[in-house]
Amino acid sequence: MHNAALAALGLNWRYLAFPVPPDQLREALAGAAAMRFVGVNLTVPHKRLALDMMDQLDESARAWGAVNTVRFEGQRADGTWQPIGQWTEPEEPARVRMHGFNTDADALLQALAEDLQWQPRGRSVLLLGAGGAGRVAALKLAASGVARLYLVNRTLDKARAVAEEIRTRYPECQVTLDYPHEPVDLLLNATSLGLRPQDPLPLDTARFPLRLAAAVYDMIYRPAETPLLQAARAAGQPAANGLSMLLYQGTRALEIWTGQPAPVAVMRRALMEHLHVA
């Protein structure tokens, strides 16, 4: 989607993927800065590791405790900093810093609103998974006014840590570490269960039947139809996959790097063509 967007914007840039071991992330980022990269995206397991490696943190990265977008900025002759992708000085920058952002949290709410016409304030949510993606989702939902949040995670300690963080930062949100005994407004899957066709459902339907969820969102975008989404639709519930979340975290990242509005339609079309989503 990024290369399609860069072509549409007429930018002579290229978006590439580089596998980087976690213990070499600092060196990889320093190398990207030295080569005057415009920016990078980070995925699991780098998002939390990168926090302490940034020279500057946007409020989004500070709030959610994770960095998925880095913008490299050069120091101008007057001492101010300018994004490398928007550099206007005649000379190349002598000094470069790393500015960290998080575009995942806002992308989730934008996707929920677009795909399911779902708004968080006053609602109840069953969240499956309290790892990296689940933690950011939980914090964003609590910050956005969700009234009741039910956390279910394979490792109880991880879910407990997220619950304690929410209780400290957003005490108005009621957090429960278990399945609800009543219907919820949204069931959100932030686990990796569903990436393979043979995966089991990420929830125990004996503890919580799918018919009790007014809507279902699965952050997984490939395959487009996970077992959870198949089961939700079979139960007659509105459901959506993570394609729009992927799209909107990408459009925001592109805007951070370029300073220009992202060509959303171009990026969506490229995603759907590449991921074979009907």
The answer to whether 2-102+247-275 and 106-241 have equal CATH topology is yes
Q: Which residues contact 11 (CB under 8 A, 6 or more apart)?
A: 258
Q: pLDDT band at 278, cuts 50/70/90?
A: very low
Record: fold of 2-102+247-275: Rossmann fold (3.40.50)
Mean pLDDT of the chain: 96
Identified catalytic residue from 47, 135, 140, 252: 47
| % of the chain surpassing 90 pLDDT | 95
When computed from its CA atoms, the radius of gyration of the chain, rounded to whole angstroms, is 20
Q: pLDDT band at 276, cuts 50/70/90?
A: low
Sequence ranges of the domains in the chain: 2-102+247-275, 106-241
Phi-psi region of 139 (alpha: psi -120 to 50; beta: other; left: phi over 0): alpha
106-241: in CATH 3.40.350.10: no
The CA distance from 271 to 121, in Å, is: 30
Residues 85, 121 contacting (CB under 8 angstroms): no
Q: Which residues contact 128 (CB under 8 A, 6 or more apart)?
A: 134, 152, 153, 187, 188, 189, 190, 191, 202, 203
Task: Average the pLDDT over 233-258 and give the result.
Answer: 97
AA identity, residue 153: N
Q: Which residues contact 219 (CB under 8 A, 6 or more apart)?
A: 108, 133, 137, 188, 189, 190, 242, 245
Provide DSSP, 38-80. Answer: SEEE--TTHHHHGGGG-SEE-HHHHHHT---EEEEEEEPTTS-
Paired tokens of 29 = 């980022």
Per-residue pLDDT tens for 147-204?
Answer: 999 999 999 999 999 999 999 999 999 999 999 999 999 999 999 999 988 899 999 9
- Catalytic site includes residue 47: yes
**Chain centroid to CA 239:** 18
